[in-house]
Structure 1
Amino acid sequence: MSHLQLSWLKRLHAGAEESQGLVLRDELGQTYGDHRSQSQMSSPEDPEHTQNTNNATITSWEAGWNVTNAIQGLFVLGLPYALLQSGYLGLLLLVLAALICSYTGKILVSCLYEEDENGCPVRVRHTYEDIANACCRHICPCIGGKVVNVAQLVELVMTCILYLVVSSNLMCHSLFFLPLSPTTGSAISFLILLPCMLIRDLRVVSRLSLFCSLAQFLITFIVIGYCVRQSPQWASRSLRAAVVDFDSFQVAVGVIIFSYTSQIYLPTLEESMMDRLDFSTMMDWTHALACVLKTAFSVLAFLTWGEETKEVITDNLPSALRTVVNLCLLAKALLSYPLPFYAAAEILQTGLLKLDSGSERWTLLLLRGSLLLLTLLMALFVPRFSLLMGLTGSVTGAAMTLLLPALFHLQLKWTQLDLSRRMLDLLILLLGGFCSISGVICSIRGMITVFEDNQQQMQEKTILLVATSSQVGFNIHTEKTKILKINSNCNNPVTLNGNSLEEVQFFTYLGSIINQQRRTDTDSKARMGKARTTLTLLKNIWASRELTLTTKTHLFNSVLLYGVKTWRITKTTIQTGSQMKSPRESEKRPSKKTPGNVT
């Protein structure tokens, strides 16, 4: 056997050699630079393992709610659309994803343990970082842990930002009676989440996860209940049995698999459990429950809307029901934030900056406050954050959920695995590579589509408009043509016949005012002002005895309510509209004023 083969086998079996006794376990602790005493190494069967100096203990139910919070996330709302894109394969994938993610979570935690000379499992590692360091110690000590910590931190911070962006958008759309902009919604969400800086106990996070899971269950049951009421329509719906489009399928694979991810939190959760022997059972029932709910949710939603299923299923709901669901989603987004924030703060504090729990309280508060502020700033100022999230999530999400657990398990437990377990881990490695590569390709394609010179596209469309108009005898006047850009980061001017077209903040089209914020307050105020002036000029009509009250009311409404269906109803609009008095109200008042005296 060559020297290269011997060197490879030595590295591959490095984890198995660790388990040959207490002496080698101590050597492992020295490799980490962590001189833990024997009493600090714990076994699941050891009743003393519940005395954890870093985290307060939690029950198996509390740990289960945390896992449920992670795997019953906002991705659930995209599952019906993913099922539409993937057909019957999507149904199979919903079940397989639950089994695979439950398995990778359990093998990741098993890598925290080694067997002593009596064959009893002993917890010799405490974090994802420790596992990575153990696998890379013969190649480059500590580099594996640093890479894993950075990947975890990026994934968790991106998740926090996502929840902040979603909560601000839901706040703007759900609280329609308040004139809120996305920036204001983000600021309000930030103020609501400020107490997260003070959370130092995992039990608090567990209780918040409980309420978050309840909000998720409420959303799921509302949608399922509505779908059941629409059951007469189900006969006309059927999933695709043929081969689906590859691009659509790989997007569906990413949505389904990443809706089950919780591996980042598992080492901390398992260490904090009162009875670690319940960890495997907890993983089984949480993923089984998630699989049943997600499958029922996806299938019933597809049977109800079929080919009209939207990317976010709440867009298919009636407006009144959509508002209720959006409010539940808002509560869920805000309650989901503390779990990734707590995990990110712990990794940043102990994994990267190496700050112990005895550090100055103000130092820790400053660290957590800075992290919270960072999520707000990125949510406000990073353009196309969803595409950036997709790219980083494709790399870090697939690696942390599928690739690394299977790779670490193979390296540390190679000699203890039979052939079937080795083949299973290798298949998961291949699946993780497929998800990562396909996700990166999709994200890059999306970025290219969005950023491939938007100015050129606008310029080409302008030239095409000029050419088409000239064919039918219309000429576009350069000085009278204005441009309004909405959600565009391009600052280059659009030209027409060599002259730059003027860019404006708003303009009037068919009597309606359109602005960059797409709000209707300005339009409604202008419309009511015009109506007030017009109604005053019609005082002779209001005073006429020949016209019926019904005719006057129809005329009043036709003048005032033109274009009202496009208005966004806000508190300001309601207050302004309440000042307008109809002829019916005026005639009921015993006054010398004519109905034309409208205020």
Structure 2
Amino acid sequence: MADSPVDSINLNNIPATSLSDNEPGHQYHVSYDPHEHRRVRNPTNNMETLVHLLKCSLGTGILAMPQAFARAGLVTGIIATVLVGILVTHCLKILVQSQYGTCVMKQVPLLSYPESASTALLSGPPMFRSLARPAALAVDIFLVVYQLGICCVYIVFIADNIKKICDPYMSSTMPVEIYMVIILGPLVGFNLIPSLKVLAPFSALANLMTFVGLGIIVYFLLTGKKSEEPLDLWGSPATFPLFFGTILFALTAVGVVIAIENNMKTPKAFVKPFGVLNVGMTIIVVLYVAVGSIGYLYCVSDCSDSITLDLPQGPFASTVMGMFAVAIFISYGLQCYVPVEVLWEGYLLPRLGQYSPEKQKYWQYGLRASLCILTFLLAVSIPRLGLFISLFGALCLSALGICFPALMEACLTFQETRGQSRGHIYVKDAFLFIIGLVGLVAGTYTALISIVRSFQPSSP
């Protein structure tokens, strides 16, 4: 199919091979190297990949960090952001390396996240093998729900900021839903771009706007009149799950990370010590800590869902909100790329084999437009930006970004060792899995309760 980023792979009847006795996280010393056999249309270089990584992580999440720090406390927020950043980076690394290991086992250039999860569980202890097919389906569901959730959040963010820019110049203010309708057409048109290579220049522009906008925001936060409310240094256990969900949402771009690594010209450079992943995540974590702490010092407990909404009215503030609205608009296409690929490659294209490539292309355009309209309808239905961020972060990313990578690494370790002791890996992966599971349950429950309460009328 012409718009697919990677050549389609027939996984039927491909013999599996055993991995050598090397720990997950190291290169497998086998004759088959998936990277050498990968054929990618329009591959991205290291700098373009870094640009995509920064763009998908420097979106609405970083602008919600002051509110997240208000829920966690200043000191707790700084420490927890760094720790979660290390945790997320490690889990993304073992996910990419586990995908590499499953490709070696299957002797194929590339496997999707669901296929890798299924293959890893089939190679693990017998108790996990029956979960292989449900795990693949669960990964697909979490990926699609999460990425579409991001798109919903982006629509709300863009409309909120445009509304705040336009309201002072309107004789009568319009509801935010009207602004969502206005941006729907352009969003659909932009989402029809099928190639990450084509999106790279737009991502570079969005990154430039983001960094300039962040610079202006930090200037306002440092020079503006700060709240005189006393600071909360340590936060509350009751609201920490909301912080955890927000920081996971902000830092863990699982679907996009997999997509951009799969589309690299030199994928081996992604997880090197000073490779794209570590460099990008270091920049991201530093920026998150800076914006979160400075923003919290500015507004303390009265932080909006996005710090742009707390800026004083004026031309500079309007410029910042406009720049971020454009940057997030561009990012929408990158985020929607993942559910399109999951649904198209895994579910629709196999059922459209009787159609010509030209007709298949129109079907894919229809899918892209339909997903845009779906996210628009969801955004209009529940425009609760901050709580949506916490919900999708806790529900989907705890599973996709922590639980599944830990489980895959443990199963591949079982396949490699065949009775040899690698207890420290199992202990580490069990610890990661528990963290992800606790974050999923506690964060999802807290976010859902908060969303329900936000719709209830306030007591007089």
Give the TM bin, normalised by the shorter chain: 0.7 to 0.9
TM-fit CA distance, 1:423? 3.0
Q: CA deviation at 1:278?
A: 0.9
Q: Secondary structure at the match of 1:247?
A: coil
Residue 113 (structure 1) aligned with residue 100 (structure 2): yes
Q: Where do residues 432-447 of structure 1 align in structure 2 (5 Å cutoff)?
A: 432-447=436-451
Is residue 2:83 matched to residue 1:89?
A: no
Which one of 202, 209, 212 corresponds to residue 206 of structure 2? 212
Letter paired with 2:407 = L
Once the two structures are superposed, the pairs formed by residues 572-587 of structure 1 within 5 Å of their partners are none
Aligned residue type for 2:244? V
Structure 2 counterparts to residues 129-144 of structure 1, below 5 A: 129-137=114-122, 138-139=129-130, 142-144=133-135
Inter-partner Cα distance in structure 1 for 2:360 and 2:300? 57
Q: Show CA shifts across 1:77-120 (max 9, x none).
A: 2212322332312111111122111111111111112399xx99
Runs of 4+ deviating beyond 6 Å: 119-122, 383-386
Question: How far has the Cα of 1:189 moved from its partner?
Answer: 0.9
Contact 1:112 1:124 in 2 (8 A): no
Instruction: Give the Cα–Cα distance (whole angstroms) in 2 for the partners of residues 191 and 346 of structure 1.
Output: 21
Amino acid at match of 2:18: Q
Q: Is the contact between residue 249 and residue 390 of structure 2 (CA under 8 Å) also seen in structure 1?
A: no
Is 2:183 the counterpart of 1:189? yes
1:128 to 113, 126, 140: 113
1:99 and 2:97 aligned: no
* Counterparts of 2:302 and 2:180, CA distance in 1: 31
Q: Unpaired runs of 5+ in structure 2?
A: 1-14, 21-30, 123-128
Secondary structure class of the residue paired with 1:319: coil
| 1:61 pairs with one of 47, 55, 59 | 47
What's the counterpart of residue 56 of structure 2?
70
> Pick from 329, 334, 340: which aligns with 2:324?
329
Q: In 2, distance between residues paired with 1:277 and 1:238?
A: 49
Where does residue 509 of structure 1 map in the other structure? none
Query: Structure 1 20/341 Cα, relative in aligned 2: closer, same or farther at 3 Å?
Result: same
> Helix, strand or coil for the counterpart of 2:251?
coil
Question: Deviations 1:248-278 (Å, cap 9, x if unpaired)?
Answer: 2222222223210111122322121011111
- 3-state DSSP class of the match of 2:64? helix
Q: Distance in 2 between matches of 1:262 and 1:221?
A: 23
SS of equivalent to 2:70:
helix
Residues 368-407 of structure 1: pairs in structure 2 closer than 5 A: 368-381=368-381, 390-407=390-407
User: Do structure 1's residue 251 and structure 2's residue 245 form an aligned pair?
Assistant: no
Q: Given residue 364 of structure 1, which amino acid in structure 2 is its aligned partner?
A: Q
Following the alignment from structure 1 to structure 2, what is the Cα–Cα distance between the partners of residues 185 and 248?
A: 31
Matches of 1:331 and 1:269 in 2, distance apart?
22
Deviates more, 1:311-320 or 1:410-419: 410-419
Aligned counterparts of 1:238 and 1:353: Cα–Cα separation in 2: 55
Distance 2:436 2:385 in 1: 24
Q: SS in structure 1 opposite 2:270?
A: helix
Alignment of 1:339 with 2:324, yes or no, is no
Q: Displacement, 1:426?
A: 2.3
Which residue is 2:360 aligned to? 360
One-letter identity of the residue aligned with 2:295: A
TM-score when normalising by structure 2: 0.79
Tell me, in whole angstroms, the C-alpha distance in 1 between the residues paired with 2:431 and 2:19.
32
Taking a change above 3 Å as real, the CA distance of residues 250 and 379 of structure 1, as seen in their structure-2 partners, is: closer
Q: Which amino acid aligns with 1:394?
A: A
Corresponding residue number in structure 2 for 1:295: 289
CA RMSD of aligned residues (A): 3.4
Contact 1:64 1:286 in 2 (8 A): yes
CA contact (8 A) 1:254 1:435 kept: yes
Measure the CA separation in 2 of the matches of 1:254 and 1:180: 31
Rounded Cα–Cα distance in structure 2 between residues aligned with 1:43 and 1:383: 43
Match of 2:24 in 1: none
State the alpha-carbon separation in 2 of the partners of residues 146 and 325 from structure 1.
41
The separation in 1 between residues aligned to 2:144 and 2:105, in whole angstroms, is 33
- After superposition, residues 583-594 of structure 1 pair within 5 angstroms as none
Q: CA deviation at 1:279?
A: 0.5
Change (3 A) 1:77 1:140: closer
Q: 1:290 to 1:383 in 2, by over 3 A?
A: closer
Q: CA deviation at 1:174?
A: 1.2
Cα distance in 1 between the residues matched to 2:229 and 2:378: 42
Return closer, same or farther for 1:60/1:143 CA change in 2, 3 Å cut-off. Answer: same
Q: TM-score, normalised by structure 1?
A: 0.62
Counterpart secondary structure, 1:244: coil
Compute the displacement of 1:419 (Å).
4.2
Matched, 1:20 2:18: yes
How has the CA–CA distance of structure 1 residues 449 and 279 changed in structure 2, closer, same or farther, with 3 Å as cutoff?
Answer: same
Would you say the 8 A contact 1:107–1:405 is kept in 2?
Answer: yes
Contact 2:117/2:132 (8 A) holds in 1:
no
Structure 1 gaps of 5+ residues are 1-16, 23-38, 462-599
Q: CA separation in 1, counterparts of 2:108 and 2:87?
A: 24
Q: Letter of the aligned partner of 2:413 in structure 1?
A: K
The AA in structure 1 aligned to 2:307 is I
Aligned to 1:426: 430
Q: Which amino acid in structure 2 is aligned with residue 344 of structure 1?
A: P
Question: Highest relative contact order (Cα 8 Å, sep 6+), 1 or 2?
Answer: 2
Indicate the residue corresponding to 2:258 in structure 1. Answer: 267
Q: Give secondary structure in 1 for the equivalent of 2:101.
A: strand
Larger deviation, residues 273-282 vs 369-378: 369-378
**In 2 relative to 1, CA 221–366 (structure 1 residues): closer, same or farther, beyond 3 Å?**
same
Larger radius of gyration: 1
Change (3 A) 1:352 1:406: same
Give me the whole-angstrom Cα distance separating, in 2, the residues matched to 1:227 and 1:166.
Answer: 20
Structure 1 residues 249 and 360, CA, compared in 2 at 3 Å: closer, same or farther? closer
Is residue 408 from structure 1 mapped to residue 408 from structure 2 by the alignment? yes
C-alpha displacement at 1:58, in angstroms? 0.6
Post-superposition CA distance 1:465-484 (Å, at most 9, x none): xxxxxxxxxxxxxxxxxxxx
Contact (CA 8 Å) 2:349, 2:360: kept in 1 or not?
Answer: no
Q: Once the 2 structures are TM-superposed, how far is the Cα of residue 437 of structure 1 from its aligned partner?
A: 1.2
Q: Secondary structure at the match of 1:245?
A: coil
What are the Cα deviations for residues 169-216 of structure 1, in whole angstroms up to 9, with x where unaligned?
222221233564433311221111122343121112222222222222
Name the SS for the 1:112 alignment partner. Answer: helix
The corresponding residue for 2:4 is none
Percent pairwise identity: 19
Which amino acid letter does the alignment assign opposite residue 156 of structure 1?
A: Q
Q: Is the 8 A contact 1:209 1:336 kept in 2?
A: yes
Question: Does structure 2 conserve the Cα–Cα contact (< 8 Å) formed by 1:146 and 1:352?
Answer: no
Q: What CA distance in whole angstroms lies between the structure 2 residues aligned with 1:135 and 1:380? A: 39
CA distance in structure 2 between the aligned counterparts of 1:300 and 1:371, rounded to whole angstroms:
36
Number of residues paired by the alignment?
414
1:82/1:90 contact within 8 Å kept: yes
Distance 2:229 2:65 in 1: 17
Question: Which residue of structure 2 aligns with residue 449 of structure 1?
Answer: 453
Contact 1:129 1:351 in 2 (8 A): no
CA distance in 1, matches of 2:223, 2:386: 34
Report matched runs for 1:560-575 at 5 Å. none
